Structure 1
Amino acid sequence: MEITRRDALKMASSVAIVGGPSAAVAHDAAAKAVPQVADLAFDLGIPTPDTVEKLYDMMDFQRAVQGYLWAVPTVGMEGARRMLVDNAEARSGDLVLVAGYRDVSVMLGSNVTTPYVFAWFDLTEGPIVIDYPEGATAGSLIDWWDRPLIDVGVSGPDGGKGAKFVMVGPAHEAPENSPVGAKLLRSRTNKVLMFCRGLDGDLKKVEAVFSKTKIYALGTTGSGVTALLRFKTEGELTSMAHPKGLAYWQSLTQALDGEQIEDRDRFFAAMLKPLGITYDGSFSPNHRQAEILDNAANLGEAMAKASAFSKRIPGMRYRDDAHWEYLIPQDFANEQDGPDGALLDQRTAFFYEVTGTSAAVLTKTPGTGSAYLTAYSDPDGDAFDGAKSYRVRVPANVPAKTFWSITLYDTETRGLIQNKQQIVDRSSRQNLKVEADGSIEIAMGPQPPEGLEQNWIPTTPGRAWFVYFRLFGPLEPYFDRSWHLPDIEKAN
């Protein structure tokens, strides 16, 4: 059964389950979005000055709320850049290795099974050459609206054999002096993110592969060893999660700075301009604008949570006999457009939870790429409570060519759950207790069940969580849905 539509007030109220103290603020903001014509005064049909002020406030607030949802992908990309700059002092073209519980915890929807390598690029000054290495890696180069330019590594056209790319921004012509054999990538944005995984279990081998990467401005010579920056080891790390309140709009302004307005975005650009959101990098809202933007961000976030955790997108249920859903809508396209218009709801739901996509995650070819199932509540519709215990029995012969994993995320941060054990997942790569029939029972709760300690994922009372079940190299029984993954059930 598909999720039914909920109105704005109900969405704002439901944020109390997952959003904590912001619930009341979001509810108050929602009330402003519902004008009562009976409360408006007119003079012979003409709005009075007081009514004009109210109407413009309502108009700007409603536009800002929709602007929040429109901006979710690019604010997520700016969050990735901010994470790299704040935590590793990364400049354009620097590679950053992100590995281990502490580092990966600040990412959205990621896992600790494989390390990540990031880089961000500014194409304003001209084309950039990437000499991508041969080896066991997988990832993509994506523009600032989270649209892939190309997959790289074993899941890309190079098949893990390495490749050379020349990236060109929207304002530059195709260069005549590209290196021999280089593939030209034209980005529609001046900022680009490289988002990759190292697939080898040995971190030293992953470092050795990526250290062979060469990144340099076209016309110069790339030489020497590429350093892999790491996050600072002291102090609090900056998360890539979407900022709250007014900071959301500051991040959006930074994301749009120096970019060109695409045709698909012109209405949103026009609606946000009266609120001080422009493409020129400046952001200094007056008191009225700041109040509207802050309230709109609170309600926009509540709507994004509803879009992600209670999707009304058709076809999200994996099978009718369990409550697992696809993480990525089945009609999603990386261009974010469909035959009936832009995939606005789909991309809001997807990119509120994660940052970074690729062709590989949309695979329909058995044995390649990766697939993701998710659950946000138990079969009774209740949020997964960190104070309670749950179990799921993973059947034998999971249709995953490479491996499978189950990972828990904090509902508020969309990052890894936090616990003193620093255990957030269980996978087929680990030494788990296996039942006589080949199935594996995974336990989730604040205390380890006797006999299942090695299969246990610790949860924290007072925090809600949701779960991703990943299949790396999904096989045909996943695609034809003949494979059944039982629900996560409350444990006695």
Structure 2
Amino acid sequence: MMKLSKKLIALTLISSTFTNYSHAEPQVPANITTPDIVKTQAVGDLHFKDGYPSDETMSKVQRYMLIQRAVNVFTDGIQISSMQAIQTGLASMGAESNKVIPISESFLDSNSLWLTGNTSTPYALFSVDVKDGPIVMDLKTPVLGFIDDAFFQYVGDIGVGNPKDAGKGAKYIVVHESYKGKLPADHIVLKTPTYKHWVAFRYGDTKQIQQFKDTFKMYRLGEESTKVKYMDISGVKMNTVHANNEDFYHELNEMIQYEPVTSGDPHYRGLLAKIGIEKGKPFNPQGEYLEALKEAAGIANVHARTEAFRPSNKEAYFYGDKRNWFLPFGSTMSHEFIKDGKLYIDDRTAFHYVATGITPLMTMKFDGQGSSYLMTTTDDKGEALDGNEVYTVTLPPNPPMKRFWSFMAYDNQSRSILPTQQRSGGFDSQGDVVMNDDGSVTVTFSSTKPKGESNWVQTLPNKGFFLLYRMYSPTMEWHDRKYMIGDLIKQ
């Protein structure tokens, strides 16, 4: 028998395979296909030709995705735009980074728009920029302070809250993570992924301010002779609150253009790029593009405001369903808003919509140290607080704290101190508190002062407001939620 070559055998097999092949329609599951018409509430009917999108469908979906991504850019980037607004506000007063330190020597007031600022303690609020090299802060006064980066992420505690300082004083050096030079061994190093930063110092009382000004130094590394200037911002008109319309995206773009491309989350930067915000490229939305951003900003602002004023996360309510007071940080009690391995996105959005400043000290449970905050936007019936009404709230006897408690009223719109004739904007236990016979304290909230009333916070007619209740140096009884303050009751 004649032997066949391997090549001939292979060709024969291939020929046989094709000869015996019979065509059959594959069994395609319906759930992996796209029908010719997809009906949606968001964008209407979407048309396809055997899976191929029509021009109209492509246009509808592209606009929808632009709005959706712009909404996410807004809600996930409030903290960045807020930081830019703070930087712009400070610069508008001539408070140049690294050179000028604004201090509320006579406390903050309603002339300045700061997200939930307070009038109970004096602050130094200033900008640090490490783009041109590390910045040294030589601190000798026992302040409670922190530094946050350009994306409002925590960098470090300064002063009493830093265990290497603990109020004794120390030299700090803020340095960008890309810096390769030698750093002083005796400095507390605060490495950061961004150039711009915001620093907040809280003083125990006004007496510490002069001591601070006499001893504090801030300079670029190697330029110790540099002198800083101080600026009293009490009573100064300024705005540090971010925009809630399409201007928001321009504030965001300004920060993105300044900061290194390596800073921030790559996924978020991808979202930014999809709506036209990209480092090194112009951002000038026009026409339909601008209209889409206006719509997105409207939706995003409503979402942020709703989460901030009426939290969907019911775990944020401090006393559960027994009271209407809730935690601005949400239920995570984390400065990163992370719990059980997940990021609570809406909690983060809500916090940055009404507040500034991120440090773990705000969320830790210390016995007789630190501070704690509760917020309410409604009375005991769940109705929005209204400046036309009169409300009272009662604190049970013996509030569990080592320093003092404070109520502050804020304008619903600006989330800043309510602009009334009462300069303090609130009432706290450092003043003349009149107690009830059982040792409890009742505070009244109304537009005009009731006759003979001492414990009073002024509101404004025809103006919605909300409250923050602060406990300074609370004890574990507070953290364990055994002490329960009352809701506001309409009189």
Q: Please, what TM-score do these two structures have when normalized by structure 2?
A: 0.86
Q: Amino acid of the residue matched to residue 81 of structure 1?
A: Q
Rg: which structure is higher? 2
Partner of 2:480: 480
Name the CA shift for 1:394/1:195 in 2 (closer, same or farther; >3 Å).
Answer: same
Displacement of 1:245 in angstroms is 1.3
3-state secondary structure, aligned to 1:356: coil
Deviation at 1:219, TM superposition (A): 1.9
Work out whether 1:279 is the aligned partner of 2:279: yes
Q: Which residue of 2 aligns with 1:200?
A: 205
1:383 aligns with 2:384: yes
2:351 equivalent to 1:345: no
How far apart, in 1, do the equivalents of 2:276 and 2:124 lie?
35
Alignment length, in residue pairs?
449
User: Contact 2:108/2:235 (CA < 8 Å) preserved in 1?
Assistant: no
Q: Structure 2 counterpart of 1:213, which letter?
A: F
- Aligned match of 1:216: 219
SS in 1 for 2:56: helix
Greater alpha carbon shift after TM alignment, 280-289 vs 361-370: 280-289
Hey, what does 1:411 align to over in structure 2? 412
2:319 corresponding residue in structure 1: 319
Which of 96, 101, 121 is the matching residue for 1:95?
A: 101
Q: Residue 299 of structure 2 corresponds to which residue in structure 1?
A: 299
Q: Write the deviation string for residues 290-318 of structure 1: whole angstroms up to 9, x where unpaired.
A: 21112211111110011111112252122
Query: Retained in 2: the 8 A contact 1:88–1:230?
Result: no
Q: Following TM superposition, by how much is the alpha carbon of 1:421 offset from its aligned partner in structure 2, in angstroms?
A: 3.0
Name the stretch that deviates more: 408-417 or 78-87: 78-87
Q: Is 1:112 the equivalent of 2:119?
A: yes
Distance (whole Å) between structure 2 residues aligned to residue 166 and residue 104 of structure 1:
33
* CA distance in structure 2 between the partners assigned to 1:284 and 1:221 by the alignment: 42
Q: Does structure 1 residue 310 correspond to structure 2 residue 310?
A: yes
- Residue 254 of structure 1 contacts residue 281 of structure 1 at CA under 8 Å; is this kept in 2? no
User: Counterpart amino acid of 1:419?
Assistant: T
8 Å CA contact 2:63–2:292 kept in 1: the answer is yes
Structure 2 distance, partners of 1:207, 1:348, is 37
Deviations 1:200-249 (A, max 9, x none): 144xx41431442211111222455x321234977xx3322121212101
Residue in 2 that maps onto 1:251:
251
Kindly state the Cα deviation for residue 479 of structure 1 after the two structures are TM-superposed.
Answer: 1.1
2:63 paired with 1:57: yes
Tell me the distance in 2 between the aligned counterparts of 1:103 and 1:383.
Answer: 22
Instruction: Note if contact 1:392-1:487 (Cα within 8 Å) is conserved in structure 2.
Output: yes
Greater alpha carbon shift after TM alignment, 430-439 vs 318-327: 318-327
Partner of 1:14: none
RMSD, aligned α-carbons? 2.2
Deviation of residue 104 (structure 1)?
6.7
Q: Are residues 1:435 and 2:440 paired?
A: no
Kept in 1: contact 2:85–2:241 (CA 8 A): yes
- Which whole-Å deviations, capped at 9, do the CAs of 1:371-404 have from their partners, x for residues lacking one? 0111111122211001111001112211111111
* 1:255-303 alpha-carbon deviations (Å, 9 max, x no partner): 2223245697222322232322123374212322221112211111110
Which segment is superposed worse, 62-71 or 304-313? Answer: 304-313
Q: 1:220 to 1:134 in 2, by over 3 A?
A: same
Would the alpha carbon gap of residues 299 and 84 (structure 1) be closer, same or farther in structure 2, given more than 3 Å must change?
same
Q: Does 1:151 align with 2:157?
A: yes
2:109–2:119 CA contact under 8 A, matched in 1? no
1:360 and 2:381 are equivalent in the alignment: no
1:412-433 deviations in Å (ceiling 9; x for gaps): 1110111123241111100122
Equivalence for 2:421? 420
1:360 and 1:368 in contact (8 A); partners too: no
Rounded to whole Å, the distance in 2 between the matches of 1:398 and 1:231 is: 32
Q: Could you tell me whether the CA contact under 8 Å between 1:139 and 1:358 is conserved in 2?
A: no
Assess, with a 3 A threshold, how the Cα gap between structure 1 residues 343 and 142 changes in structure 2: closer, same or farther: same
Instruction: Please give the alpha-carbon distance, in whole angstroms, between the structure 2 residues aligned to 1:413 and 1:87.
Output: 20
User: TM-score, with normalisation over the residues of structure 1?
Assistant: 0.86
Structure 1 contact 169–186 (Cα < 8 Å) conserved: yes
- What 5-or-longer segments of structure 2 have no aligned partner? 1-39
Identity, in percent, stands at: 26
Could you say what secondary structure the match of 1:401 adopts?
A: coil
Residues 1:69 and 2:84 aligned together: no
What is the distance in 1 between the residues matched to 2:255 and 2:263?
17
Note closer, same or farther for the CA distance 1:232–1:313 as it changes in structure 2 (3 Å cut): closer
Once residues 103 and 457 of structure 1 are traced to their aligned partners in structure 2, the CA distance between those partners, rounded to angstroms, is 14
Provide, for residues 407-464 of structure 1, a one-character-per-residue CA deviation record: whole Å limited to 9, x for no partner: 1111111101111232411111001222221111100011222221x21111111211
Paired residue type of 2:92 = D
Cα drift, residue 193 of structure 1: 1.1
Match of 2:28 in 1: none
1:287–1:246 distance in 2 versus 1, CA, 3 Å? same
| 8 Å Cα contact 1:129-1:167 kept in structure 2 | yes
Verify the 8 A CA contact 2:78 2:353 in the aligned structure 1: yes
